[in-house]
Amino acid sequence: MDFTFPELTLHPLRTELYDELHSRPFQVITSPARVSHIALLTTETQQLEQFRHLQELHGLFGFSEPEHDVRFYEHDFGSFRLRREMHMEFASYTFIDEIDHASAPFGRTAIDSLPQGWLSRLVGEVVAAFHVDLQEVNEEPDRSQVRIKPWFEDQRLIGSSLADGSASVWGSFRLHSDGFGRFLILNRTLSNSQIGRLTQRIIEIETYRLMALLALPLAREISPELNDMDQQLADITQTLADDDQTDEQQTLTKLSGIAARIEAFRAHSTFRFSATRAYHRLVMSRLEELREDELSGHLTIGEFMTRRLTPAVKTCESVGDRLEDLSRRIDRASELMGTRVDLSIQNQNQQLLSSMDRRSQIQLMMQHTVEGLSVVAISYYLVALLKIGLDSAYATGLEFNKPLILGVAIPLVMVAVFFSVRRIHNRFVALANRE
């Protein structure tokens, strides 16, 4: 439906934003029913292959194929309904069979109606795969428990009474002999819409639980490496505090190596740890919506998640926090090393300047010595020239006392040369000072 606003400019995403809140409507399920859910980690290439595989399923049942891939798709194939949802990093397939088959819970599943081999060709890495069996019951919860355990292959059960006893849900949160998990919902008074919403919450709790736990093996893998790097950094910091003669180059090389490893771990784990926190929050919010009550001493789903899932998530958060803490400590240690290097350079520069000052003083003393020798040498040559002149004048017949004149001229020449040299020296000093 198109709406016209003659004087307003509409945002190009306005319609999409309105439709987003309605893109994944709750199911309306009539019990008894059987639901099978599969969630697969999916790349963009695999998403395209999955869409072609979905088109193939339509052809096998004689339905027209969808032309475009969408984030949410639902279709009724007659013997079952298919609900396909694309999430940020995984795709989920929910198969719903509402036909009343006369069989015990989990004796028949919703995927039994799929064509032979179609499910095995679905690309992607399966993370979550479980069946949900919905049954109508009239008896009290305590009376029905004795019949439930064999349906879960005698595994330990977790159960909750929901909506003031209007329904109860049972599960083991383990894989069974068919490779799937199992949940049993016993409906007493819930409507089809309510049972659909309840089923959707159970599906989301289990799927998001498993997605949240994807980071735990990574956290366990990284943790020993962090312990090793933490100890290395502590040793380096202690060495910097105790030893003033640390080899800065070697220390900086070690710090650079640790920093590179930390950044590699951060690049590999930041998204996974952030996703774990987000999935955990979703699980907790869905649990609050269940409004659980205890069933005869069994752990409720909320208690089970609090005791088992939350510590695992806290472990991931702790490893992520340690990565950030180590990164900050390395930065501080690097800054400390940089300060030490700067101080070392300043000390070297000061020593160099002191050495240059001593050399300048020595050069000045040598220069004064040279100036004194220059005065003597210049005076010697001037007196020699004067003597040659006096000899020439005496040879022409002039009468005078040569020794007396030379004796008087020597100090006069030396004084004149000395002041001339000093004047030249002072002129160069003045020029240098002006520059």
Q: Tell which of 350, 378, 413 closes a domain.
A: 350
127 and 40 in a common domain: yes
Same domain flag for 223 and 120: no
* 152-205 pLDDT per residue, tens: 988 989 999 988 888 999 999 999 999 999 999 999 889 999 999 999 999 999
Under a CB-based contact definition with an 8 Å cutoff, are residues 330 and 232 in contact? no
Indicate the number of domains in the chain.
3
Residues 344 and 320 in one domain: yes
* Domain termination site, one of 170, 199, 228: 199
Question: Exposed, middle or buried by CB within 10 Å (0-12, 13-18, 19+), for 133?
Answer: buried
Q: Is residue 222 part of a domain?
A: yes
Same domain, 342 and 365: no
- The pLDDT assigned to 39 comes to 97
Residue 5 counted as domain residue: no
Domain identity same for 219 and 279: yes
Residues of the chain with pLDDT under 70: 1-6, 23, 100-102, 139-145, 243-246, 364, 368, 371, 432, 435
Q: How far apart (Å, rounded) are the C-alpha atoms in residues 89 and 418?
A: 93
17 assigned to some structural domain: no
Is residue 434 assigned to a domain? no
Residues 252 and 387 grouped into a single domain: no
Q: Are residues 229 and 144 part of one domain?
A: no
| Rounded-to-integer distance, Cα 322 and Cα 325, Å | 5
In a domain, 12, yes or no: no
113 lies in the same domain as 151: yes
Q: Strand 292-293 vs strand 72-76: parallel, antiparallel, or unpaired?
A: unpaired
Q: Provide the residue range defining the domain that includes 411.
A: 361-423
Residue from 150, 151, 173 nearest 160 by CA: 173
> What are the residues facing 130 on neighbouring strands?
37, 181
Pair 182, 303 in one domain: no
Please give the angle made by the CA atoms of 31, 36 and 41, to the nearest 5 degrees.
145
**Which among 318, 350, 382 is the end of a domain?**
350
**What is the rounded distance in angstroms from the CA atom of residue 76 to the CA atom of residue 57?**
12
Residues 184 and 276 in one domain: no
pLDDT of amino acid 131: 96
Look at residue 429 and tell me if it is in a domain: no
Say whether both 79 and 164 belong to one domain. Answer: yes
DSSP 310-362: HHHHHHHHHHHHHHHHHHHHHHHHHHHHHHHHHHHHHHHHHHHHHHHHHHHHH
Q: Has residue 194 been placed in a domain?
A: yes
Query: CA-CA distance, 301 to 295, in Å (whole number)?
Result: 11
* Residue 243, pLDDT score: 66
Write down the pTM of the prediction: 0.76
pLDDT score of 409: 79
Tens digits of per-residue pLDDT, 22-68?
767 788 898 889 999 999 999 989 999 999 999 999 999 999 999 98
Residue 138 shares a structural domain with residue 167: yes
- The reply to whether 367 falls in a domain is yes
Q: Which pLDDT score is estimated for 342?
A: 74
